[in-house]
Amino acid sequence: MLVDEEMLADERVGNPEPQGPRLDVFLAKSLPDLSRTRIKQLILAGEVAIDGRTIWEPKLRVKPAMGISLRKPPPADPEPRAQDIPLDILFEDRHLIVINKPAGLVVHPAPGAPSGTLVNALIHHCGASLSGIGGVRRPGIVHRLDKDTTGVMVVAKTDRAHQHLGSQFADHGRTGPLIRFYTAFAWGHNQDFNGTINAPLGRDPKNRLKQAVRRDGRPAITHFKTTARYEGEGWQIGRVQCRLETGRTHQIRVHMAHIGHPLLADASYGTGFATKALRLPADLKNAVNSLHRQALHAARLGFLHPETRQEVLFEAPLPPDMQKIQDLLDPHSLK
C-alpha cells in the first residue's frame, strides 16, 4: 500500500483484512497528525486519489499496491476577514439584518471560497455585533441560499436573536409563522401543475457535489404551484412559486428536476433540457443562455421578530437577469 511521498506520507503496509481497510481508516492510521474526521472531509472535498484517480468515497476498501495520494490544502484563516463588499439591505436593527443576496455570492467561507463571502461583507458592515452562535466561520448565519440563488436572507446580530430565529427555521413553519416563498422558471407546464413533492434527499452517489432523491436520504418537502404559463412553438415554460417545508441543499432544484420540470439554466440538474433553449425565440434564448445560473429567486421571507414578537415579511423583486426573462416571456403568456 503506497501513500504518495510527495504528499503527506510514504508508507508500505500489509493488508490483514480480507476486504481491505476503509480508506479513511487507513489514512487516519498512516497520518496520525490528521483526525479521521478531517481525513473524511478531505476525501469528500476531492483531495484524495488512488492511482491518479480522484476518490470521493471514505468507505472504499483499499488493497495492497494501491498508490494513495492525499493533498492537504494550506490552512485557512482561523477567522474570516472583514471585506468591503456592497450589501443590498432590506431592513436592519440592533437584533438582525435582512439582505437581498445577489447571484454569485457564497454565504460563508468554505473550501474553494475562503473569502469574498456574505460573512466577510457582514463582518465589515456589522463589526463585532454579529451573533457568535454560528462559530467564527458562520457568525449570525441562520439559513443559507445557494451561491447562485438570489433573494431574501436574514442574519442574526445577537445570540438571543440567533437562538429564536434558529428555532423558527428548525420548525420550518409547521407550527410557527416562518414562510419562505421562491420564484422559479421551470421547463414545461400543464393545467394542473401544482402540488407537493415529498422525496428524501441525500448526496448523489455519482457526484458528491450534487444532491439526489434517495430512499435513505433526509426528509424533504416542497410545495409548488404555477402562477403563470408561457408557450411557443416547441417549448413551454412555467413561472412557479415554491414553498419550502424543509431546507435541504439544492432542494427546489432537485425536486423540480425529479418531477420532470427542471429550472431554466440549471447546469447541474437541468442538462437534459439544455437543447430546449434552442427552440426559444432569439431574444429569449439569449436571455436564458446569459443567465449562467438556475432561474431561482428567494422572493419572500416572513418570520416572528425575535424581540418585538411581531410577524414581519420581507420581499425582494426579481433580479435584473430573471426580470429580463419575465419581460420576454410575457408576450407568450397563456391566459
Which residues are known catalytic residues? 146
Q: Is 292 in contact with 265 (CB distance < 8 Å)? A: yes
Cα separation, 155 vs 314, whole angstroms: 13
Cα separation, 28 vs 96, whole angstroms: 42
Of 140, 229, 225, 241, whose CA–CA distance to 184 is shortest? 241
Query: Strand pairing partners for 156?
Result: 96
Cα separation, 251 vs 212, whole angstroms: 9
Q: Give, rounded to a whole angstrom, the gap between the first and last alpha carbons of the chain.
A: 67
Query: At a CB cut-off of 8 Å and minimum separation 6, what does 267 contact?
Result: 294
CA angle, 142 then 143 then 148, to 5°: 140
Cα separation, 33 vs 27, whole angstroms: 10
DSSP track, 185-215: EEE---TT-EEEEE--EEEETTEEEEEEE-T
Cα separation, 335 vs 331, whole angstroms: 11
Residue owning grid cell 424533504: 220
Query: At a CB cut-off of 8 Å and minimum separation 6, what does 126 contact?
Result: 97, 140, 157
SS3 287: helix
Q: Is 246 in contact with 220 (CB distance < 8 Å)? A: yes
Q: Is 95 in contact with 157 (CB distance < 8 Å)? A: yes
